[in-house]
Amino acid sequence: MREYYVYIMTNHSGTLYTGVTNDLTRRVNEHNMQVGSSFTKKYRMSKLLYFEQTDDILSAIECEKQIKGWIRSKKLALIKSKDPRWIDLAAGGTR
């Protein structure tokens, strides 16, 4: 069964980026190398703050669209509910 991830990344100034992928490790590495997305290249997204996993691509895409439509404070509340200290989850941080 395939896995899909909805994730939120940030940069040094706190800009947020929401995406969806089927390989979270690869995608975070691509963001860190500034490959694959003009937004993440421009804003240098480097820190994974939030992710959730599903086995349904349509659910993942719908969740991504929903989060992207939220105001910043709602996104921050979601992040803080899972990662209150904004630890980079890709760097070995735990939930």
Let me know the angle formed at the C-alpha of 23 by 18 and 29, rounded to the nearest 5 degrees.
Answer: 75
Q: Quote the pLDDT of residue 94.
A: 47
Using the structure block, give the residue that is written with the tokens 């921050």. 76
State the total domains in the chain: 1
Tell me the CATH number at 14: 3.40.1440.10
pTM: 0.91
Report, as an integer, the average pLDDT of 22-38. 90
Q: Residues 45-69: pLDDT tens digits?
A: 999 999 999 999 999 999 999 999 9
Give residue 15's domain range. 4-91
> When comparing pLDDT for 92 and 82, which is higher?
82
DSSP 46-63: -EEEEEEEES-HHHHHHH
Report, as an integer, the average pLDDT of 66-75. 98
Question: What 3-state DSSP class applies to 66?
Answer: helix
Contact 45, 31 (CB under 8 A): yes
Over 60: is that where the pLDDT of 95 sits?
A: no
